[in-house]
Structure 1
């Protein structure tokens, strides 16, 4: 719900943080709870902004701008009188919690740059700030460069990864002053004093993907790496939102939905569509490579035995003899066992709109419910539109979507909830012996506080085969399925190992979406990630540990009243492919004392 623009006067000035409209060079908007404040201002003719929380600077003077038709929209700027809107809404969310509350004040600031009109949009919520520029439609307008920046206060600790093809870089711990000047992919998370700050972008549509580089003064400057020559458009130019998520603790950070909030809601029919169903899936590629047609009955039986909703047939099915006929038969056989089928497809078959619709029609005719689309090309403006077009066409055919080899998420899953997940993460495909890959020990402990802050990711967790552990413990692998949010939760391990595991009952109880998420005391990105997550009247505790073994005390106060059945999995000393299991009864007054091995973890399952 949006209320009408503020009428100039005392109430409007209060919502705008007390700043008078009579000022010509500063525009201030505060969050509904009053803790966060953003100011857009002009200094020496240059458009800048800064962000504070409780009076503490988060971003010092940072740039805003777009270069278009040779005009620097961001220089020689004059600000006019803004209008203010309140946004206050709730919507269903598939992910770390079930409902998102989008409550913010938005300011629309008319401006001129060297006499040319444009607008500045400012969105200030309790969990952060977003800002963007809009340029009016103009025939043959050339968009040449983006001038956004984030100028973080001080020298914060950073958790960042280098810009890489398909956003599959490895996160590491560094600092702003030592991060170097190579391109960095978004998102990154910083810790400055007691605040956690994640920066990224939202609403990437009709615009090129943004990366950042550290400048000479440590300002993190955005640039359109995939659109070095820009593009021409006749339409209004809407810069994607430049987002700064701000949290007082890690629980607030992982529960932010600011990225999704900045995207339009879906049509009512899509928002309430009963065919959009999250779920768990088996998948053969990580454990055994291309699908063998004679083995499909076994994979379906395993999926049924685990109680999973889906089975994904990956790359290679299209090379079967009579692939479409075989696919239809497999889907029919799976349906009899209450298993639904997803299939892999190369993006080249669905790039063109006509070919895409024809391909989707074939999938629907075969009975397929979901499609994993792989290998999209570089993330320029043309391909940013392809994601939306593809999601729209898939929704028309009631197809669920998993984008792989994909650009980072920017919240489109709110507009198109049939897009359950995407990759854009260095996942379990980088912990695999046949390609001689092994993930750094800190990587898993950083991901929940960086990549997963901005949206679900298809990590393909939980591989239990002994030779594939590569120093991870079974409990670490179990904890991945709990902490790495993905409404299409595609397990990387061979289901043979999942079915036969002594903690199969715990594994099969793990859902693909959650009602509530808490980050537990002792968590520290790069060292340890500990979460409690609730589904209905069940709680799960998961710990992902990094390189150094250690101890953690976990108060169970989140359980509330009554006694709880508890099944606890701890690392077995001296063995990767075993765990110590304890089944007991616990209550909110109890404290778990956990010892986690190097690259180990812990899992607890609590039910009334």
Structure 2
């Protein structure tokens, strides 16, 4: 039951001596200071256990064509309160989440314009959230943001885990360096992508993970990104100050705002323990409770799919090899198929049979609909209609067949970046899904946004993603968004958002490979805002086994691929490899079958960004626990204790681990499986090979 403790204090115009405000976290370890500097410039500062996290930093917005909201302010009101509640997510890493903070809302009035804004701060035990609020008022009813000027002044040249700032993609490899080294490493960090727009030699993405020289872990991100442009960070590398940099729209504007309105929350998570960053629910807590009264149709999903074989080049999305054609001139009933089209009725039935045999919920099918020959890189407004299948894909028959097996089919909508075209077809496409029993869709936005000039992360396109999400809810459809904006905790409010990509996923293992430390960093960065559809479970790590022309390899041991089901949290988990490969390793595949996708409890047993992570998670509504550990290219020995298990009970531990001599590059399929009886008093030591890891299932004895 929620408990609210309110202490509200309204003030008239305050004297300059009274302008400084202080707000502490509930446990007293974090302190937020707000002040107006000379000239009426609003600033804030954040300390943790007396150590600077964010030094005095400016707040405000630069407006287009009018006086900006950066200076000339007087404080005209303040309100404080404390809030404490416990809520239950529809799905998640824990059965319950505590939302406990102290709040300060400062009202500022600009003497020159008589405009008023409010800055609302919430200090949690694990960090700070703050946002700008624009009340309805005669002097500020509609305005255009030229740039948001929020600063994060850092206390030193921190170690950073960063991605190049880009308006259109986050699909870069993370660079680990000091902030002072960003400029020199930026050019090499910007690798090719289907759509990309970098903006600065020191521009960075959020979530940005930092570690200070004195051992503070700091994460900067945003929460509740609605009707606003996505925030990046521009680094002043002489003074170690990060400043917000919003994604522009097609004419260069950063936001069109009509009051009353709020910005997203700007978030700073901080601790002297790395595991606390991973366990933080601050971003979720800054989002509103769910908008849905009925959530019974939203369910976590474990799935297989017709996908990896196309990613590797073994098969194709296209029905024909007729490139550079104009689709309205093609009669698919008369053209010759290419013989490599994967989304055909007989082949999809094989996936459905495999899913049913092993207890999976669903099968994703990509390349089922017409249009794949005529879209990539062409910037066409109208390519896909999302309802017309290729001749070899029998929608009605597959729907019937899947139903007899107790398996769902996951729809795939590649929009080709044409957001207007997708919206014009959306109702018909969702009605089509309802008709044939599809309850989840994977959306895609590969390539540049059409209309040209817009970006994947600008306000207008973010509003499109939100429109799709809310429209899907009208049809009781779950959404897994790829190439969309990175998540900001909106899945609390709209829990039908069960998956996002917004980072380099497993597909890049077929495009040259992800760094071996990749999955030791993503939980500290990309996953701070919400789960990722990472698509793990690749057992055949040599891509050439499927496509002799592709020499890429998966930068992971087989054992670590199992660990990712625990370390890379998602309520939507794919067994991404081909059924014939899993049939060769059914002993290891058993872990994928057993592991849960929804959790009652989560523990971080070991963690250091870029080096290693070990999680333990308790399955929803069960006594079973699952452990996953992933490490970088150096390998390590993991030492954990099982004190999280219920005292007095015995468990059977099945350990899936790297064998001696395993190596992500030279010997990736070397694994061993062993069983032993354990209790809460047991301590384990386990080898993690270079680029490796391990997975453990802990089942209560007798169950």
Normalised by the length of structure 2, the TM-score is 0.80
> Structure 1 residues 352, 504: closer, same or farther in 2, change over 3 A?
closer
> Structure 1 residues 76, 239: closer, same or farther in 2, change over 3 A?
same
- Show CA shifts across 1:113-161 (max 9, x none): 3442111111111121111112244444222211112122222221112
Q: Report matched runs for 1:386-465 at 5 Å.
A: 386-432=464-510, 435=511, 437-465=512-540
> Structure 1 residues 317, 429: closer, same or farther in 2, change over 3 A?
same
Number of equivalenced pairs: 593
Aligned counterpart for 1:182 among listed residues 202, 207, 210: 202
Does the CA-based 8 Å contact 2:75-2:109 persist in structure 1? yes
Aligned to 1:332: 400
Between 227-236 and 46-55, the greater mean CA deviation after superposition: 227-236
Q: Does the residue aligned with 1:503 lie in a helix, a strand or coil?
A: helix
> Structure 1 residues 29, 495: closer, same or farther in 2, change over 3 A?
farther
Q: Report matched runs for 1:353-392 at 5 Å.
A: 353=423, 355-375=425-445, 377=449, 378=455, 379-392=457-470
Between 415-424 and 583-592, the greater mean CA deviation after superposition: 583-592
Q: Does the residue aligned with 2:594 lie in a helix, a strand or coil?
A: coil
2-side partners of 1:323 and 1:49: how far apart?
Answer: 62
- Show CA shifts across 1:93-120 (max 9, x none): 3232222211112222110234421111
Does the CA-based 8 Å contact 1:167-1:406 persist in structure 2? no
Residue 539 (structure 1) aligned with residue 625 (structure 2): yes
Larger radius of gyration, structure 1 or 2? 2
Aligned counterpart for 1:27 among listed residues 21, 24, 27: 21
Q: Report matched runs for 1:102-501 at 5 Å.
A: 102-113=99-110, 114=112, 115-137=114-136, 138-164=140-166, 165-180=168-183, 181-192=201-212, 193-215=214-236, 216-227=238-249, 228-270=252-294, 273-288=295-310, 289=315, 290=317, 291-293=342-344, 294-318=346-370, 326-347=394-415, 348=418, 353=423, 355-375=425-445, 377=449, 378=455, 379-432=457-510, 435=511, 437-468=512-543, 469-501=553-585
Normalised by the length of structure 1, the TM-score is 0.92
Does the CA-based 8 Å contact 1:302-1:499 persist in structure 2? no
Aligned to 1:15: none
Does the CA-based 8 Å contact 1:157-1:174 persist in structure 2? yes
**Runs of 5+ consecutive residues of structure 2 not aligned to the other structure:** 184-200, 318-341, 372-387, 450-454, 544-552, 662-666
2-side partners of 1:401 and 1:599: how far apart?
Answer: 32
Coordinate RMSD, CA, aligned: 2.4
Aligned counterpart for 2:83 among listed residues 76, 82, 87: 87
Between 305-314 and 345-354, the greater mean CA deviation after superposition: 345-354
1-side partners of 2:77 and 2:623: how far apart?
Answer: 51
Deviation at 1:57, TM superposition (A): 1.5
Does the CA-based 8 Å contact 1:211-1:224 persist in structure 2? yes
More helix per residue: 1 or 2?
1
- Show CA shifts across 1:7-58 (max 9, x none): 449xx9xxxxxxx998432122222222222122111222111111222221
- Show CA shifts across 1:509-561 (max 9, x none): 1111222222223x321122222222131122211121112222222222232
Q: Does the residue aligned with 1:548 lie in a helix, a strand or coil?
A: coil
1-side partners of 2:614 and 2:431: how far apart?
Answer: 44
1-side partners of 2:117 and 2:391: how far apart?
Answer: 53
Between 148-157 and 286-295, the greater mean CA deviation after superposition: 286-295
